[in-house]
Structure 1
Amino acid sequence: MAPNNLTERQAFDDIEDPSKSFDDDGRPKRTGTAWTASSHIITAVIGSGVLSLAWAVAQLGWIAGPSIMLLFSFVTLYTSSLLSDCYRVHDAVSGKRNYTYMDAVASILGGVNTRLCGIFQYLNLVGVAIGYTIAASISMKAIKRSNCLHENGMEKGCNMSSNPYMIGFGVIQIFLSQIPDFDQIWWLSIVAAIMSFTYSTIGLSLGLAKVAESGKIKGSLTGISIGTVTQTQKIWRSSQALGDIAFAYSYAVVLIEIQDTIRSPPSEAKSMKKATKISIAVTTTFYMLCGCMGYAALGDKSPPNLLTDFAFSNPFWLLDVANVAIAVHLVGAYQVFSQPIFAFIEKQASQRFPGNQVLNKEFKIPLLPGFAPYNLNLFRLVSRTCFVVLTTLVSMLLPFFNDVVGIMGALGFWPLTVYFPVEMYIRQKKIRKWSGRWVCMQILSMACLVVSIVAVVGSLAGVLLDLKKYKPFQSNY
């Protein structure tokens, strides 16, 4: 019988021609574009890291600060382009797909590289989830504290723990973590991207207003001076600043997973390179404006978190808006970085226990009229809830925002943003050893390794200093 309406006709056509409903790998048709990929990247990149950039520039000064930010942007743009070509093996249009970063390393490099990639990638993803939980709680606490200060006119009685806010953030993430796949959180990424522009713009505007009010650009060519801090502190802080900047550009860890949401034609690599160019241009512009304007307004007193450390006290309601935007953005950013972890856990479990009913059975839960029922999977519910609870507990134990940001940025930058993309590209394109191009790529990789080591050491020193005055679960950070 012939179909009698548009919906039935579409379904009939899909049965007749499965290629309209499924991609070449048999999975449901991907619907992402360069623009949705850009929103995922911006959500991942313009995160809480932007708030520490004024502090980072203050440690490095007017020459090194902006120069290093630009350098990181160029390195990220270049290596992301290399990584985009690793989504498909051998052929950019019809080659075998790599669904995750680890899949790409396994299919192109293999061996010990695969295990090392898995360790670096998933530790980095867990660390980012912890960092974002800390940052979101700080912003939520800052709203309450700013209102308290405004009402009382003094700081006394306004200190408070961030633990209740971490727990609240964790409860929200338990619900959102039940969204089954990365491809289904595009709407959350768009909302989060809008929020990131909102608070970045507010931070920039407050910096501009403060510069206009004072009529003077603060700061120096070499950053915070010896005397204000000791020589040792200057070294540690400058090292940590490198980690903070690296964290602000950290998204290679989820690049392949984002690319796997893009439809074709054109080729996924072509769309991803376009998305990367758009995203890096947008984020670098915001970073330069926010980091440099924050430093120009506050000079050596630039705080580790521009919008929550009360560097700007008025208008307090605008700061509240900015901190609400940060919290909402980090709700989405947490999911962007956590979905690959969820997919990895569930894939490993299904491969190890292929016939297990608990892992594979789904229960249909009816929702509102007009909406498709939700498919509840018990293993997904338990495993993802446990992950959120674990990251929340660790965040409550180590609520050091700036130090965690520096460590995560430093640990993930060289292996995930530089080393593996360079090595996979060399193997894929069969670049001859000791050729000019090979030597240049290796020099880039080694230089970035040195930067990462320096940043890790500086950030670890910051954590050790914080631990001396810290009591677990009683912190007012």
Structure 2
Amino acid sequence: MGFDEEEEVDSVKMPLLQHTRSSPSSSSTPPTETIKDPLKRTGNEWTALAHIITAVIGSGVLSLAWSMAQLGWIAGPLSMLCFASVTIISAFLLCNCHKSTDPECTIRHGSYLDAVTSILGKKSAWFCGIVVQINFIKVAIVYTITTASSIGAIQKSNCYQYEGHDAACGGNSNTKHMVIFGAVQALVSQVRNFQNTKWLSVVAAIMSFTYSLIGAGLGLAKVIENGEIKGSITGLPSDNAIEKVWSVAQALGDIAFAFPFSLVFLNIQDTLKETPPEKATMKKASTIAVCITTLFYLCCGGFGYAAFGTNTPGNLLTGFGFYEPYWLVDIANACVVVHLVGAYQVFSQPLFANFESWLGRKFPESDIVHRDYDLKRLLLPGFRLNLLRLVFRTAYVVTVTGIAVLFPYFNQVVGFSGAITFWPVVVYFPVEMYLKQKRIESWTTIKVVLRTYTYICLVVIVFAFVGSVRGLIVARFS
């Protein structure tokens, strides 16, 4: 964690700490930085694929069976394919935003916010900055809730295994599990920047594949055991049409949460080698990643709904019971925990980078902001401690954990989180940046098509957002 190739040792030394002077911790390069920068980029399509899969396949996959149950056998798969299409369109549009098109001075945009600032201007950047930070925070909250739920499920299944099926194993609060996860994240958050998380993303991607396969496999096994495919064309029946509409809206919010990785797209692209061109590498990695994740999502959602029908749980892994095969469900939940440790960082590192870069420019001479302490003498070779990172990142993790404790409702929070930032991040800004960079004139076919696409997506997401907010309010006060 925090491994750096270069060593810049300051002349002042402390008994246990050697401090070094370094540039601000940032994976996000300022908009004025040119391509010829000192940062060594070694990423390729495989590291990009690992980062993307880590970002995309997250806790959202566990709610897809429930979403399928609300929508039914036709609308469910079609909705997933539509959101997958929107995600890949966003990726292709963003590929063009990594570098400016100015022939005089090519600028590298190392983050989503950098690109919006440089291409669309300060007013758009102000709005985008708010949306970006909200997105990073809400993902961290969802991951904290999901991890606590998975830890609790492991504890509960083991309790039943050793104490018997009649034991009182269901009363444990997930609050302590959230606190444990928060403590782990406070430590892992000291990883210096996005460049240093490759190993974390690879491990997390393997874990996401594992628990998705287990979830899909258990669903298929239960379908075979039942001897029938449960579910219906229209989804779960409801005596109240209004309630049905709200459940459909929340289901769309859950699906929206499961797909996008747009906010970290340019951060990932900025880790790639220049040869072959980063744009081509990212297009290839994005296409492969979205195809793989969509297949997994269809399998998990479809098999889960086919297995449980009207009793489909909000979290797929809790639907297989806490008895047998308890060990396989335990493995799946453990993989969820390990994966979300890494995924939390994939989405948090850009937020850390944005804030620390801003402070670095604001206080260029501050030792608190810029000085790293080398912990070699504490038997931690290669680990560098920075006071700003320690205080800010720890405070951030504590705040996120506190919010998760207040709103520990998995499905409702996932739906709300998916809807709140999907449209501006995945649809609006990528389209606007593409139109601006390509200098596409008004009333041309491509501009009309993209504008229509933008408005249709807006209507769908507003519907999902309203339904998800209602679900969150009902869960909180019921």
Q: TM-score, normalised by structure 1?
A: 0.90
Do the aligned residues in 1 keep the contact of 2:131 with 2:425 (CA within 8 Å)? yes
**What residue number does 1:257 align with?**
267
Q: Which of 101, 126, 132 does residue 112 from structure 2 map onto?
A: 101
Q: Which of 251, 260, 266 does residue 241 from structure 1 map onto?
A: 251
**What residue number does 1:203 align with?**
215
- Structure 2 CA distance, aligned partners of 1:72 and 1:419? 15
**What residue number does 1:25 align with?**
36
**What residue number does 1:214 align with?**
226
- Structure 2 CA distance, aligned partners of 1:94 and 1:301? 59
Q: Map Cα deviations across residues 306-365 of structure 1 (whole Å, 9 max, x no partner).
A: 003545752011110100000000000000000011101101111222211111111111
Q: CA deviation at 1:92?
A: 10
Query: Which AA in structure 2 matches 1:154?
Result: D
Question: What's the secondary structure of 1:363's corresponding residue?
Answer: strand
Q: Which of 297, 300, 305 does residue 287 from structure 1 map onto?
A: 297
Gaps of 5+ in 1: 1-6, 8-22, 470-477
- Whether 2:472 is the aligned partner of 1:466: answer no
Q: Map Cα deviations across residues 375-425 of structure 1 (whole Å, 9 max, x no partner).
A: 211111111111111111111111111111111111121100010000100
Question: What's the secondary structure of 1:96's corresponding residue?
Answer: coil
- Whether 2:195 is the aligned partner of 1:186: answer no
Query: Which AA in structure 1 matches 2:130?
Result: I
Q: Alpha carbons of 1:217 and 1:91: their partners in 2 closer, same or farther (altered >3 Å)?
A: farther
**What residue number does 2:342 align with?**
332
- Whether 2:366 is the aligned partner of 1:356: answer yes
Q: Alpha carbons of 1:68 and 1:93: their partners in 2 closer, same or farther (altered >3 Å)?
A: farther
Query: Which AA in structure 1 matches 2:202?
Result: I
**What residue number does 1:12 align with?**
none
Do the aligned residues in 1 keep the contact of 2:99 with 2:108 (CA within 8 Å)? yes
- Whether 2:376 is the aligned partner of 1:366: answer yes
- Structure 2 CA distance, aligned partners of 1:366 and 1:429? 50
- Whether 2:143 is the aligned partner of 1:138: answer no
- Structure 2 CA distance, aligned partners of 1:273 and 1:311? 41
- Structure 2 CA distance, aligned partners of 1:425 and 1:149? 55
Question: What's the secondary structure of 2:373's corresponding residue?
Answer: strand
Q: Alpha carbons of 1:232 and 1:41: their partners in 2 closer, same or farther (altered >3 Å)?
A: same
Q: Which of 400, 410, 418 does residue 419 from structure 2 map onto?
A: 410
Q: Which of 225, 233, 242 does residue 237 from structure 2 map onto?
A: 225
Do the aligned residues in 2 keep the contact of 1:85 with 1:92 (CA within 8 Å)? no
Query: Which AA in structure 2 matches 1:348?
Result: W
Question: What's the secondary structure of 1:132's corresponding residue?
Answer: helix
Question: What's the secondary structure of 2:153's corresponding residue?
Answer: helix
Do the aligned residues in 2 keep the contact of 1:88 with 1:94 (CA within 8 Å)? no
- Structure 2 CA distance, aligned partners of 1:272 and 1:93? 25
Question: What's the secondary structure of 2:275's corresponding residue?
Answer: coil
Gaps of 5+ in 2: 6-33
Q: CA deviation at 1:270?
A: 1.1
- Whether 2:76 is the aligned partner of 1:65: answer yes
Do the aligned residues in 2 keep the contact of 1:58 with 1:295 (CA within 8 Å)? yes
Q: CA deviation at 1:263?
A: 1.0
Q: TM-score, normalised by structure 2?
A: 0.90
Question: What's the secondary structure of 2:316's corresponding residue?
Answer: coil
Query: Which AA in structure 2 matches 1:258?
Result: I
Q: Which of 79-88 and 306-315 deviates more?
A: 306-315
Question: What's the secondary structure of 1:88's corresponding residue?
Answer: coil
**What residue number does 1:175 align with?**
187
How large is the RMSD of aligned CA atoms in angstroms?
1.9
Q: CA deviation at 1:450?
A: 0.8
Q: Map Cα deviations across residues 416-440 of structure 1 (whole Å, 9 max, x no partner).
A: 0010000100111111111111011
Q: CA deviation at 1:34?
A: 1.2
Q: CA deviation at 1:149?
A: 2.7
Do the aligned residues in 2 keep the contact of 1:362 with 1:376 (CA within 8 Å)? yes
**What residue number does 2:18 align with?**
none
**What residue number does 1:345 align with?**
355
Q: Alpha carbons of 1:157 and 1:38: their partners in 2 closer, same or farther (altered >3 Å)?
A: closer
- Structure 1 CA distance, aligned partners of 2:311 and 2:93? 39
Q: How many residues matched?
A: 446
